[in-house]
Amino acid sequence: MPADLKCKIAGVEFANPIMTASGCAGYGEELAQIYPLSNLGALVTKSISLKVRPGHPPPRTVETPGGLLNAIGLANVGIDRFLKEKVPFLEKQKTKVIVNVAGSTIDEYVEVCSRLNDCSCADMIELNISCPNVNEGGIEFGTSPKLTEKTVAAARKVFKRPIIAKLAPNVTSIAEIANAAEQGGADALSIINSVIGTAVDIDSWQPLLTNINGGLTGPAIKPIALAMVSSVYRKCNLPIIGIGGITDYKDVIEYLLYGATAVQVGTALFVDPSAPLKIVKDLKKYLKEKKLKSVTELIGKVRR
């Protein structure tokens, strides 16, 4: 009998633990032209804010050794166009949908969350309190335990389904922020968003990103993310979705052993949009070889 890949977070059941990371598959339309989204555990949308955001002018991505620096600036269609233009497509997909929500103020988070209540395809929301690339909002809410708790609690008051808080690595103690998110009423955590970084052109002496700083993602940050998942797993009770440098099934296993219940694949999608399909296939093979009945048997099983 094939091993069971199903996993559950806050009562929501996923066909497998492989999700797309926010911002790396837009609203799913392009990926669905390559393979049915039912192959994914979940599709996580690009952040949705109250108003349309054009984001930063290009260049807003730069490749670095083992990684990608981005300063997109939360470019997105805004909640009105999301509900009108993107939701009809998402409603037809046979996968779970997690809507990532961004705001410049707590009131903005609240308004977007409350409007998503009527959107039945939003199985969960992921609160983006960790974007390093905007002057207002983003990481500002996720680097202070008090503001984290306040923002999550405000969203919790209005949104009726489970809430995931997406945490920043650019903090002194991610476990402290995780506990604040739990206090505020979060049901799960996504760990981690990108690591602040920059790069300079040595001929022009100008930064390579218009925003100067960006967020580093990809294999270069995997060890950092794993250590943060491990720390939060030991100090906080909420289920964890691991993010950072996942390119193959071995990365997924590392995250699960350190305590993640599921993972998100981000930067790898730009190299190979089909990476999740290969990961799912190889994960099944690994579980069979190890004689495991369910992928959940790996969670937190690292031998210390």
Please give the residue ranges that form the binding site for ligand SIN (CB under 6 A): 23, 70-74, 128, 130-131, 133, 193-194, 215
Question: Token pair for residue 115?
Answer: 């409007």
CB of 211 to ligand SIN, least distance (A): 8
131 or 236: CB nearest ligand SIN: 131
71 or 113: CB nearest ligand SIN: 71
Burial of residue 227 (CB within 10 Å: 0-12, 13-18, 19+) is middle
Q: For residues 113 and 110, what is the distance between their CA atoms, to the nearest angstrom? A: 5
Residue carrying structure tokens 């002057």: 135
Q: What would the DSSP string read from start to end of 152-189?
A: HHHHHHH--S-EEEEEPSSSS-HHHHHHHHHHHT-SEE
CB of 214 to ligand SIN, least distance (A): 8
CA distances from 273 to 37, 209, 268 (A): 12, 24, 7
CB of 234 to ligand SIN, least distance (A): 25
245 or 295: CB nearest ligand SIN: 245
45 or 70: CB nearest ligand SIN: 70
7 or 164: CB nearest ligand SIN: 164
Q: What is the H or E stretch that residue 217 is in?
A: strand 213-217
Q: Per the residue annotation, which of 119, 121, 131, 236 is the catalytic one?
A: 131
Q: 131 catalytic, yes or no?
A: yes
**Coil, strand or helix at 4:** strand
CB of 155 to ligand SIN, least distance (A): 16
Nearest CA-CA partner of 199 in 21, 60, 57, 73:
60
CB of 94 to ligand SIN, least distance (A): 27
Q: Cis bond leading into 2, ω under 30°?
A: no
**Active site amino acids:** 131
